[in-house]
Structure 1
Amino acid sequence: MTPEFAYFLKVNVAFILLYAFYRLFFYKDTFFKLRRTILLAFFGVSLLYPLMNIQDWIREQGPIVEVIQMYSAILPETTITPGNVPQTNWHDLLLSGISYLYWSGVIALSFRFLVQLSSILLLARRSEVTLIRNVRVHLLNKPAGPFSFFRLVFLHPDSHSEKEIDEILVHECTHVSQWHSIDVIICELVCIICWVNPFVWLLKREVRHNLEYLADDTVLESGYDSRSYQYHLLGLAHTNRSVTSLSNNFNMLHLKNRISMMNKKRSRSIGRTKYLIFIPIVGALLILSNVDALARITDELTESTFADVLLPEAILPFPFVGDASPAEKREEYVLSEEGIEAARRARNQVFTVVEVMPEFPGGQGALLKFLATNVRYPESAVKNGIEGRVSCSFVVGKDGAISEAEVIRGVSPELNEEALRVINSMPVWSPGKQRGKAVNVKYTVPVTFRLSGGKKKTSSRIVQRQIKEVDTSGRVFTVVQQMPEFPGGQASLLKYLATRIKYPAIAQENGIQGRVSCSFVVDTDGSLKNIEVIRGIDPSLDREAVRVIREMPKWNPGVQNNMAVAVKYTVPVTFRLQ
């Protein structure tokens, strides 16, 4: 489904739902001005809501979902089959026929609209203009129903009595002063675009009816007798129609509806509150329009990685005394969060940085004291003069327990062993939290063992380094705020792959088929680089997939924080023999 067709489908679905909503709640009330507003809002919402992206808002709503998967970089699968025998694609032919039929209707209705508009302007130019009751009126040279269009009022005075002319002028001046022709033009243009949808034409009819109700109401409020006015309408029922349907016609509607509305008891003011129901309806349409974002919330998350964010380091130096020597030993304890990890396949995903970081019981001061009193400089390391930094990592689980402690950069077996021993002996922490829920968080702890003979220091301090600005240069993202796009969009990309990839003859002869998964990086200038096969089948199929990707034109680059960035894509392509 192309983006254009998806937009068209969403617009027409909205018109259907909103028309049903109108008939259910507003059809019989007498709040004509409020009804005019809501009817125009129907057109505006239907045309604009598919263009609104609320995915960023959804991501911020923790209560909505447990985990929100950001945009996936994996494209829809493209299936390539041998093209030796041309086959007729009846599905494409049918779609082409429907497309031609639709555009033929749009062209025909557009031509009709322009002809009607031209006829009104031409009539205004050719007709005589006079003042009647201080109203500028274009005189019709033959009997026809009175009508107006924007600031133009058309009338055949000889066909009406003085009293009737007064009522007509009040009626038509209401159309002019309240700019009812704008509503008419909007309805006509939308009907041209969505002519295949009968509910759009029904909404247009409701708009036209309501405009006449407004004008009739003004006539009655001006002091004219309702019964006399209604008889006047009945007398005009069989006169000639106006020259065009674009105008506001005095007698264009079914008189039964207009007379019934004039005689109807006015709705109670409390009934205005029901118009507030329109607000949740709009919200529901927005959610339906962005249902693809909600669909990404699944139990199994697509593997992806957030861009690293450089965070400040807290250096926590403290002294401790080794068993074998009175010499001072100082350990430099560094807490460093090197990046943000997210969305792994397993439910128990491990974060590096979260909204609320885990905390040792009693805080950092208690942690320093624990390390100072429990870490022992190994005697063998002291005798051999071994010193250096041991970098260890561990996971603070959802229950606060320490697990998966390991040395990621060691110095010597005895120092590595001592660092792991103390970390594994830590008590239960307060777990980290992300979006209000406890999560697993990974820590990296560089611990420096250094031999020195200086005076012992028993105080501890925290030195906070200056926060450095996030640097995205040279970094490859997997998910960004605005994903890269192939020229012409996703539909063009799929068409490009389908037309450029050729099934290798050797693979056909040997009956080789399957899926080739390729990855590549869309650079900041839109060029493709680092093209590789991450899951192949056969060298011939792998080479063909890589060849076509390498020949792709430049893309529109991805954007993060208003800056073009490099983004990695994964493209699965299936080769299947028929």
Structure 2
Amino acid sequence: MEMLIYLAKANLYLILFYCCYWLFFRQHTFFQWNRIYLLGSIGASFLLPLIVFYTPVEVAEQSTEMMQQVAANAVTPAAPEEQVSWSQILFWVYVSGCMFMLAKLLRSFQKLFVLVKNGERIQLEAYTLIFLDYKQAKKTNSGSFSFFKWLVVNQADYENNPDTILRHEHVHIRQWHSLDILLIEILKVLFWANPVVWFYKRSLQTLHEYLADMEAANRDTYAHFLVSYALNVPGQVLTNHFSNASLLKNRIKMIYKNRTSKWLLSKYLLILPITVTAVFLTAAREYIPQPRTASPAILTDHAMIKGRISDKNGKPIPGAIVIVKNKTQGAATDKDGNFELENVAAGASLVVSHIQFKSKEVAVTKGKSTYAIVIEPDDTVLKGPTITATPNKPEPAAPKAAAPNGKPANKTFTVAEQKPEFPGGQAAMIEYLKSNTKYPAPALKANVEGTVIVRFTVDKEGGLQNVLIVKGVGFGLDGESVRLVKGMPKWKPGIQNGEPLEMTQTIEIKFDLAAAKGDKRQGFQLPKTTGFTNAFQVAKVEVEDLFSSSLAYFEPKTFKPSVDPPKAQYRYQADSSSYRFMNYQSSNHPAFAMSLQTTGKYKYQKQQLKKDN
């Protein structure tokens, strides 16, 4: 019964905390704070029911009325019959539901492990890439998703949208979103009857998508991509999958939503008085017995008396009355004939009586606390009919969401007395761009160069926000520009009337292909091989572009598939006319993959893998 009460209180706390989230916080753009709140409220729902308030109370003396002997009809209390209570029925229904949900969870794990086992693995520093070909993806009805350190991508996504999808899923991996989902799945096993647990899971999954969407380089391009990708994409129950059509509308709304004022962070303090009030209303109360005060002289002569009442054959006698002579203090024996009396004075007498036995008086000896008392049948009691008495057991016993009322958002200026400035000035910013620019491999391959115009806001503290591409070039140059701006140190904010203010800045970042090809940091020489007709320089991609391709062709002659260093690995493809040759290196060196075709020209395809740090 105590366990059922605990579970009921935990469910009530889950409902209370989620209602607070729904009313006060869900429309905010504090995605990380909302995630912390939901996870913290789950832990609090388990801990708060354990709070107990202790209240001291004075113990009253027990009083027992003596039963009188009845000559004609005798009443004998009988042991209660074993009956199944409602609490037992509820307990087994709850356990059955838990077993069903646990089996369902284990089944989901089994499907996931089979999917990962059958896929082709590429071990990277930050995660393991699992590649599913068309046949595997169709058989398992699986889209691209992530689960802890596994990033599963199907062949269709790999060929059409690798950069966006893998960057998105890598955010889930880096921020441990799968741990949240696993926690909720375990919670569903324990609290399967509480529908609010499903709401918790949906809200956390929504927050995960918001957090990953924030990493997009260009929100307009990304929003169009979400719409085009959202149809007919399946998902796994345990995983963070890229597209969820049911969340699409909210995700796009949040991409374009203005960021919530930081003043509204104070709304999270509302949960404190609500929680304290709930604790006082639901906390258990335990009463600590406090004996009545008495003089030390009396207390030293009083003790607790225990005993057992039986007949001459040693059979226990339930329902016998034991009282202290000339007192109202007494007790009745249980089904085993046992009784207890507290605070009995030495020298007092115990009177034992039962309607079918002779009364007996026993003196209390100082220092003796246990008594075995034998009473004899009373032959004067008439042998009339016996009435069996079975004691009856009693049966076991929102305001509407308020709109944010914080202060108006700070006005952003474009003109001021003193404009924002990069630390060290214009020359320092140019040096920063030169030192940190990594020319994207797609641009190198396509011989693309140009100027990207980036607009952003410098807030009052010098932080850079709302980074936006005004004029882009494509081929990874836009994403590289956003990365460079987001990685800048804090600027000196603009000044108006002696006060810092938010200002919009626009800068141009020029990408020079000739300079990039002459920079040794941008690539590496292909390791020595045998059987090649020529060698070429390969672009090194470390951050933004997760996958890029560079092609070179060789004349049809014997190709010796060996690379030194390091040791090579072979993977046999389903098509018997082609083989894939892969070489994986440590995080300090780029990795590459080659595919061989037995007819026509030999095609060497390099696919650069991300170094993630």
TM bucket (normalised to shorter chain) is 0.3 to 0.5
Q: Scaled by the length of structure 1, what TM-score is found?
A: 0.48
Structure richer in strand, relative to its length:
2
Structure with the greater alpha carbon radius of gyration: 2
Question: Relative CO higher for 1 or 2, CA cutoff 8 Å, sep ≥ 6?
Answer: 1
Q: Scaled by the length of structure 2, what TM-score is found?
A: 0.45
Structure richer in helix, relative to its length:
1
